[in-house]
Structure 1
Amino acid sequence: MHRLLWTGLIISLGVLWESWSVPTQAQTIPPLPTPPALVDAGCRGCHGDNTDALTLPSGESLPLAVDLAALNASPHSAQDEPSAPCVSCHVNDTAYRYPHQPNPAPDVHTFRVNVAQRCQECHYPHLPFHENVDATQNVVPTCIDCHGSHDIVRVEAMAEAMPARCVQCHTDRSHDWVADFLEPRPGIGHGAEGYAGSMRCAGCHEEKYFTWRDTLHANIIQNPASKPEAIVADFTVTDDDLTFTPAEVAYTIGSRWKQLFITTTVSNTLAILPAQWNVATQEWVAYHPETWATSDWRKECAGCHVTGLETTSYTFTEFGVGCESCHGPGAAHAADPEHVDLFADADDQVCGACHGRGLAPDGHAFPTTYQPGDALVEHFTFANDAVSVWPDGSARLNHQQYMDWSLGSTMQQASDMHCTTCHNVHEAGPGPSQLKDGETALCISCHAPQAASVKHTPFHEAALRTRDFACSACHMPLMAISAVEYDIHNHSLLQPNPVGTIEHGGLAAMPNACNRCHSRPGEYPTWAAQTIAFAKQQAPPVSGGFFAPGPTPTSPPPPTPLAVVGQPPVVVQQIETRVWVRWGVYVLAGVLGLLVVAWGTYRIQLRRERDA
């Protein structure tokens, strides 16, 4: 019996020992920052006045001298925090220990490629304007080719320094051509905190940047001094409303429907001159001639025509609707794109911030505190006065499309329908409204059963033989005013609605889609309403919408921190409490089981001895 008990105890201890030897779970955490080298005295002492050069197998030479003044002025200066000492870049197992080993690079380009790998341990890799270059057929530039090695310029001086570096490879281009190609779109003053300007985005998103530059958003404000073709108005005509000359125009606003003109006043503010040019009718009309001289465009309008407006000094980062107007301030993302994300969701509220008319809590006519991802209604109250909207709530004036969209159609409730479903934001697109496709083609891409217009538009068979019907003629009629009467589409998707016209007092008080075309004697709103009712009786519409309700846009969650760029994660051993609990239960159960078996065996043996 004692032998059996000792055996059970030994087995239990063995199981317990095995449980102790189970490896614990490993968890990765970001490493601590590596402290920089304390001194560069040895490197600087040899290379500060060195006149020698290293000849590579290709016959090319690398000068061994380092311009210490340029190095001290660069972002890699030892005086900067954090500093980047020489060995931060010039380090591997043997090559940069003294005495130096032979350089393994066969030519200058290979040497620079090897060094550039060090750049990408701290900096986000990017290759603006060269991402589509075939590396097998062309020499792709390295970090050093564009930014230099010891004479790296700071961000604020980049635009001025780059042309000279670009023409070293692009010998067929002039310095001025490159400067114009890279020209940022500066605003006035510093602008709001955290904004970097759209040119910074081009470094990593060049394809979107260069197609965006041709959009209405990018070109809503233009400078005729550098771009004379920006003026589309005819200043040669004689018109009583035209009281100024092109020489007084500092900037233009718009070019598609109408064009307004900004001038610099004697008090150094910006004001809109007192006449606008209507593109469709090719005529001048008065624009607030009584008050223009005392107005300040930056305070009254600029929030939706510039990017990064600071509403204390009224300085701004750039003219036009730039990348950060829709994605939020980008300076932090540009500095650390691995860890800091920008807003990139399809949120109609971003469009609504400017395609809506009303007042901010501080009295501005644009939402001064709104940032992409916010709830717009918390920063802006939409207009509902009779000048701005029709009695059914739809827009009477321009830039109110979001207000139409919010009136509650089934389209607006669909989770996969957004402003960007139909409209391009990064490309100019076909047509005047920057659509992704033709109007009817866009509608049919979702509403295929309605492609047969003859069936979808009863009583219009004869008209269909003489003209093309667009879906928007009935469902998005021209009902708002930008330059001339009814040149902007209704975006409520609640038309045609002749009954609304009847209820609100007639066509002058409330237009409708049917009577935008049907204006002959006898074609009154009552006639249109009766015709629609009869058509529905003859061919009842299909029940159920094409879309289902979707979620209300909300702010995005904060980005999840990632590991430090270019450094491997550090593995730290960490004990998980659940491992001990689980194995403790196993051991206890095993010991109890063995004791029960031993006790049972002992009792059986004892009975046998008695029976014997």
Structure 2
Amino acid sequence: ASPTMKMKILAAIALLAMPVAALAEDAAGKLPAKDQYITSEGCKGCHIKEHTGWLRTFHSTAIQNPKYVPSAVKGDFTQPGLGFTLQEVDLTIGSHWTQRYMKKIDDDYYILPKSWSISSQRWENYNVWSWQKQPYSKYCIGCHVVRFDPADKSYVEHTIGCEACHGPGKGHADTGGNGRIVNPAKLGSVEMESICASCHVRGKDPSGQYSFPIGFTPGKNLADYYIPDKLKPGEGISDGIIRIFREWWGKAGDEEAMCSV
């Protein structure tokens, strides 16, 4: 690993080594108001280059609706024995290594029990026996949208948009770029790594109900909002980089979307 990557690993390990006792009692805190967000499209007017770079990342295609974007579907639904049809798919998750498929049941979404391996071009079992017990709003949504509010399951953008890493942008945009906004490159190491680790390190919120931090926004310390899982056998790899830390390097698909910028 390069010296830069080693520094990132050390920062991530330091972040996750913080004692659970340091968790704030009111960790969930208050989310910024919905009207303080302008979505990625709102950022585009002044940041066309950055927006174009974001469109090249897999963050921009994290969640897609195949009814509006048929080309989003990577899986081969002509193969027999799948157990569900393309018509049952309401949303796709992922577009890089693996793609999963969600179906809406009542007022929530559930990931169907087969995922498509893009690299090997084959179907693989996924939570076959438990998928109906794992609602999207508890296990996934917080890392696939901007500003998830568990109180009403609302969000401001249904993809990993600009404000997922920079925080609400209205004040910044309304002042012609003079208003405050989070620039990860100017944060301290803990706050900077917290942004990526909030979704690229597995764990639970302090209540244990959600598989992602509740109330965390860029610029904050993740240790106040999240309890990381302990490493399990097989989660280390031969070059010494812990696999779940490594997820954020290269997974986004564009050098402009790394945790260090």
- Flag structure 1 segments of 5+ consecutive residues without an equivalent: 1-190, 403-418, 426-432, 437-552, 554-612
Partner of 1:264: 104
- Name the CA shift for 1:309/1:211 in 2 (closer, same or farther; >3 Å): same
Partner of 1:366: 212
Q: 1:434 aligns with which of 243, 254, 261?
A: 254
Partner of 1:244: 84
Partner of 2:221: 375
Shift of 1:213: 1.8
Q: Which amino acid in structure 1 is aligned with residue 143 of structure 2?
A: C
Shift of 1:326: 0.5
Q: Which has the higher contact order (CA 8 A, sep 6+)?
A: 2
- Name the CA shift for 1:338/1:286 in 2 (closer, same or farther; >3 Å): closer
CA distance in 2, matches of 1:334, 1:324: 12
- Name the CA shift for 1:290/1:371 in 2 (closer, same or farther; >3 Å): same
Q: What do residues 92-122 of structure 1 show as CA deviations (whole Å, max 9, x unaligned)?
A: xxxxxxxxxxxxxxxxxxxxxxxxxxxxxxx
Q: What do residues 320-350 of structure 1 show as CA deviations (whole Å, max 9, x unaligned)?
A: 1101000011223233345521011322321
Q: What do residues 177-236 of structure 1 show as CA deviations (whole Å, max 9, x unaligned)?
A: xxxxxxxxxxxxxx9463221111112112211331231001111111111111011011
Are 2:202 and 1:357 equivalent residues in the alignment? yes
Q: What do residues 565-607 of structure 1 show as CA deviations (whole Å, max 9, x unaligned)?
A: xxxxxxxxxxxxxxxxxxxxxxxxxxxxxxxxxxxxxxxxxxx
Partner of 1:232: 74
In angstroms, what is the RMSD of aligned CA positions? 2.7
CA distance in 2, matches of 1:315, 1:289: 28
TM-score between the two structures when normalised by the length of structure 1: 0.33
Q: 2:93 aligns with which of 253, 260, 276?
A: 253
Are 2:38 and 1:196 equivalent residues in the alignment? yes
Give matches, 1:443-454, under 5 Å: none
Q: 2:59 aligns with which of 217, 222, 225?
A: 217
CA distance in 2, matches of 1:271, 1:212: 27
Give matches, 1:245-394, under 5 Å: 245-265=85-105, 267-337=106-176, 339-346=178-185, 347-363=192-208, 364-386=210-232, 389-390=235-236
User: Residues 192 and 310 of structure 1 are in contact (CA less than 8 Å); yes or no, is this contact kept in structure 2?
Assistant: no
User: Residues 146 and 155 of structure 2 are in contact (CA less than 8 Å); yes or no, is this contact kept in structure 1?
Assistant: yes
- Name the CA shift for 1:209/1:400 in 2 (closer, same or farther; >3 Å): same
Q: Which amino acid in structure 1 is aligned with residue 38 of structure 2?
A: A
Q: Percent identity?
A: 32
CA distance in 2, matches of 1:435, 1:206: 16
CA distance in 1, matches of 2:126, 2:200: 21
User: Residues 58 and 251 of structure 2 are in contact (CA less than 8 Å); yes or no, is this contact kept in structure 1?
Assistant: no
- Name the CA shift for 1:380/1:193 in 2 (closer, same or farther; >3 Å): farther
User: Residues 221 and 320 of structure 1 are in contact (CA less than 8 Å); yes or no, is this contact kept in structure 2?
Assistant: yes
CA distance in 1, matches of 2:143, 2:118: 21
User: Residues 56 and 254 of structure 2 are in contact (CA less than 8 Å); yes or no, is this contact kept in structure 1?
Assistant: no
User: Residues 93 and 100 of structure 2 are in contact (CA less than 8 Å); yes or no, is this contact kept in structure 1?
Assistant: yes
CA distance in 2, matches of 1:356, 1:264: 26
User: Residues 165 and 184 of structure 2 are in contact (CA less than 8 Å); yes or no, is this contact kept in structure 1?
Assistant: no
* Count of aligned pairs between the two proteins: 217
CA distance in 1, matches of 2:233, 2:144: 22
CA distance in 1, matches of 2:178, 2:53: 27
User: Residues 192 and 315 of structure 1 are in contact (CA less than 8 Å); yes or no, is this contact kept in structure 2?
Assistant: no
Instruction: Give the secondary-structure state (helix, strand or coil) at the position aligned to 2:102.
Output: strand
Q: Which amino acid in structure 1 is aligned with residue 246 of structure 2?
A: Q
CA distance in 2, matches of 1:388, 1:321: 28
Q: What do residues 238-262 of structure 1 show as CA deviations (whole Å, max 9, x unaligned)?
A: 23xx110000111111122111001
Q: Which amino acid in structure 1 is aligned with residue 197 of structure 2?
A: G
- Name the CA shift for 1:434/1:213 in 2 (closer, same or farther; >3 Å): closer
Q: Which amino acid in structure 2 is aligned with residue 323 of structure 1?
A: C
Q: Which amino acid in structure 1 is aligned with residue 49 of structure 2?
A: E
Shift of 1:274: 1.2
Shift of 1:423: 5.2
- Name the CA shift for 1:211/1:424 in 2 (closer, same or farther; >3 Å): farther
Shift of 1:354: 1.1
Instruction: Give the secondary-structure state (helix, strand or coil) at the position aligned to 2:36.
Output: coil
- Name the CA shift for 1:368/1:339 in 2 (closer, same or farther; >3 Å): same
Instruction: Give the secondary-structure state (helix, strand or coil) at the position aligned to 2:199.
Output: coil
Shift of 1:360: 1.7
Shift of 1:290: 1.9
Q: Which amino acid in structure 2 is aligned with residue 366 of structure 1?
A: F
CA distance in 1, matches of 2:237, 2:54: 37
Shift of 1:390: 4.1
- Name the CA shift for 1:234/1:325 in 2 (closer, same or farther; >3 Å): same
- Name the CA shift for 1:336/1:228 in 2 (closer, same or farther; >3 Å): same
TM-score between the two structures when normalised by the length of structure 2: 0.74
Shift of 1:306: 1.0
